[in-house]
Amino acid sequence: MRSLQAADSSTHEGSRFTDRGPFVYVPSARARLRPWLFYVLALTLASVGVFSQLAADPGSLVYAGNDDSSLFIWWIGHAAEVVASALGFGHGGISGDGLLHTEAMNAAAGGVNGAWNTSLLGIALLLTPVTWTAGPIVSYNLLILAIPVLNSVATAILFRRFLTRLPAFVAAAGVGFSSYTIAQLSGHPNLAFAVTPPLVAACVLGFLTLPRASLRSRRRSRRFWLLCAGLGALLGFQFYVSTEVLAGTFLAVLCFLPCLAIARRFPAAAWLNLVRGGLLASALALLLALPLLLTMTGPNAPSGAIRPHGVWNTDLLDPIIPAGPPLLGTGSSPIPRVLPLDTAEIGGYLGIPALLACALIVIGLWRTRFRAVLATASATGILVFVLSLGSPVLLGGRVLLPTGPFALIEAIPVLMNLLPMRLVIHSVIAAFAILGVGLQWALEKRRSRAGQGLLALLAVAAVCVLPAPQTAREVYVPEFHHGGGAEAVPAGSVVKTIPRPLAWAQPHADEAMVWQAVTGFRYRETGGYFIGSSAESPLIYSAPEDALDRMLGDTPLSGGAGLPDPDSAEVRAAVDELRGSGVDYVMFAPESPVVADPGALAEFLDACLGPPTVSDQGVRVYPLAR
């Protein structure tokens, strides 16, 4: 794809002469970098504006409609503690644990296979210094604030291949602050982190446009190997952030390449460069991902499809009906779903003005120099959006077609675990590429009525997709875990927490995992929210219930009416089972927001476990070995 940008003749400061002629200016590295630094600053201010509540109190709040945030805070803290233990200054509670397989949760049943979970390991390792200094909650919130910035910059790198600076920056910011990104940030930062799709596309174009002149053979070879190393490192890193985004990017590239081949003729040598470079980069990525891939074959791995098919499907009306993030959003989508969906998944909104602008830009500029870009972006965007519809295809919550093209993907091992709604990020990138082309043309023709009209339409489209300031909620952590009280539990102890972490898409359901992370993993947890398996089930989403869990049922959440007799033989047997499985302490947090009747539950635990050794700072701690 031929670059449309021209050298900015007005920017001579910091430039240098080259051997290409006495009147050719090439900006210095500092001059080229300066606009990007201002761009990052502007994006950072925008992110702080959208998440102003979060930025004001990053140690106590989270932006989350569900409680998946607790899961990610746990993994961020876990990576930091494993590294600290390896360096000799950890808390000692999970010494011997690996980065990918851990017994810090599900401790009584073999631990968790982190290679199958959203461990965010690649990002968690980068955040380790922040986690050591400020804690895992602050690290998590720093990531939330950074992702719109990172997505925008990565997309701008792609868009600068065919747009001048201002249109590329504005359109890329549309991707970084799109409904998809902001919605997924409310629980799924691993999916919101979408730097890989645009950077992979940029690498593909880089391989196809390598210099071919013999005088540039050395430069060409250097650029080829840099592209190979960069693409391989990018894909390898993505393995440790989200394999689902990686698999979705693979599908998007399969759509992108034929569209690109039809829109623009590249010589056979260019395609050979791409094949060679792609194979070398893939080999490097697989080498980097080898520890994760080997761990995936280990214990506690799930078998079969992780999620049922036909549920997480983009509705045909999702692009035009605003849901939560936009200024025009109502908080939740009014479209009926097969099952109630987490609002973090509903991020396909673009708005009627943006879609209308895309159609006018493609039709009106088809015969201009932008034709190759528009053909590639529009065809790729449509193909990926069709896949994101899943199978069946839904219109307003009703089945329009019983079988969609995505049914082919669901029949392929590994890819069958893709949720189609999450493919929409690729069609969003394509749509904003088209809008960026329209913005560049409109700025060039801003003195004409057509240019002014398109600028006005694009301004309306921007208002429609602009995210509203997002609200944050409090993370409840007992004072016991913040202060030195946690030292009352010896390092490495196995603890059963009440309420235990539950795989429920509701606030506070899994905050016991945050408590553990805040202590620096002084103890191991019998519960946990994760994807795995057990002896009884090939697929589980939380630690199996023990006998006491089964007796209590949902009592911690609903009240004390259903509590069993604490002196019964069944209760004594349940407590003996906990002791026999290696549990050292039961930790009850009566002030947890999900506990309905803390008084009744405290009386029950006191009766069947004996008086607690700790009964202040928001917890009651019962030792099982007396």
Burial grade of 606 (CB within 10 A; 0-12, 13-18, 19 or more): middle
Tell me what the mean pLDDT of segment 119-130 comes to: 97
Portion of the chain with pLDDT greater than 90, in percent: 77
pLDDT of residue 406: 97
Tell me what the mean pLDDT of segment 342-369 comes to: 95
Q: How far is CA 342 from CA 68, 188, 339, 416, in A?
A: 10, 10, 10, 20
Q: How many CA atoms lie within 13 A of 463 on its CB side?
A: 6
pLDDT of residue 462: 96
d(CA 475, CA 354): 37
Instruction: Please tell me which residue, 100 or 217, carries the higher pLDDT value.
Output: 100
CA 252 to chain centre: 17
Among the ranges given (324-333, 412-421, 477-486), the one the predictor scored with the smallest mean pLDDT: 324-333
d(CA 588, CA 548): 13
- Whether residue 396 is predicted with pLDDT greater than 50 in this model: the reply is yes
For residue 301, give the 3-state DSSP assignment: coil
- Whether residue 484 is predicted with pLDDT greater than 80 in this model: the reply is no
> Which of 153, 150, 174, 43 is CA-nearest to residue 436?
174
> Which of 94, 192, 179, 206 is CA-nearest to residue 146?
192
pLDDT of residue 325: 87
- Whether residue 2 is predicted with pLDDT greater than 60 in this model: the reply is no
d(CA 260, CA 265): 8
pLDDT of residue 129: 98
In 89-148, DSSP assigns E strands to 101-102, 112-113
> Which of 190, 183, 205, 169 is CA-nearest to residue 238?
190
- Whether residue 593 is predicted with pLDDT greater than 50 in this model: the reply is yes
Q: What are the pLDDT digits (tens) for 125-153? A: 999 999 999 999 999 999 999 999 999 99
pLDDT of residue 47: 98
pLDDT of residue 26: 59
479-497 as b/e, with b when 16 or more CB fall inside 10 Å? ebbbeebbebbebbbbbbb
d(CA 235, CA 424): 20
Burial grade of 431 (CB within 10 A; 0-12, 13-18, 19 or more): buried
DSSP per residue, 338-388: SS---GGG------HHHHHHHHHHHHHTTTSTTHHHHHHHHHHHHHHHHHH
pLDDT of residue 414: 86
pLDDT of residue 8: 38
Three-state SS for 17-39 is: EECCEEEEEEECHHHHHHHHHHH
> Which of 352, 366, 448, 435 is CA-nearest to residue 167?
435
Q: Report whether 584 contacts 493 (CB < 8 A).
A: yes
d(CA 524, CA 176): 37
Tell me what the mean pLDDT of segment 413-441 comes to: 96
Instruction: Please tell me which residue, 27 or 540, carries the higher pLDDT value.
Output: 540
- Whether residue 326 is predicted with pLDDT greater than 90 in this model: the reply is no
Q: Report whether 420 contacts 389 (CB < 8 A).
A: yes
pLDDT of residue 507: 87
291-326 as b/e, with b when 16 or more CB fall inside 10 Å? ebeebeeeebbbeeeeeebbbbbbbbbbbbbbbbbb
pLDDT of residue 220: 74
pLDDT of residue 115: 95
- Mean pLDDT for the chain overall: 91
Q: What are the pLDDT digits (tens) for 3-29? A: 433 333 333 333 333 444 444 555 778
List the structure tokens of 521: 């993993």
List the structure tokens of 338: 């097969």
DSSP per residue, 426-442: HHHHHHHHHHHHHHHHH
> Which of 282, 222, 208, 157 is CA-nearest to residue 2?
208
pLDDT of residue 571: 94
Per-residue pLDDT band for 561 (boundaries 50, 70, 90) equals low
Tell me what the mean pLDDT of segment 590-618 comes to: 93
Q: What are the pLDDT digits (tens) for 607-624? A: 999 999 999 999 999 999
Q: How do 101-102 and 112-113 pair as beta strands?
A: antiparallel
For residue 15, give the 3-state DSSP assignment: strand
List the structure tokens of 198: 């645009």
Q: Report whether 388 contacts 499 (CB < 8 A).
A: no
Q: Report whether 388 contacts 316 (CB < 8 A).
A: no
d(CA 348, CA 350): 7
Secondary structure percentages of the chain, helix, strand, coil, to 5: 55, 10, 40
pLDDT of residue 486: 81
Q: Report whether 305 contacts 538 (CB < 8 A).
A: no
Asked if the peptide bond before residue 499 counts as cis, ω within 30 degrees of 0, the response is yes
Q: What are the pLDDT digits (tens) for 24-73? A: 555 778 888 999 999 999 999 999 999 999 999 999 999 998 889 999 99
| 403 dihedral zone (left: phi>0; alpha: psi -120 to 50; beta) | beta
d(CA 260, CA 592): 54
> Which of 418, 430, 429 is CA-nearest to residue 251?
418
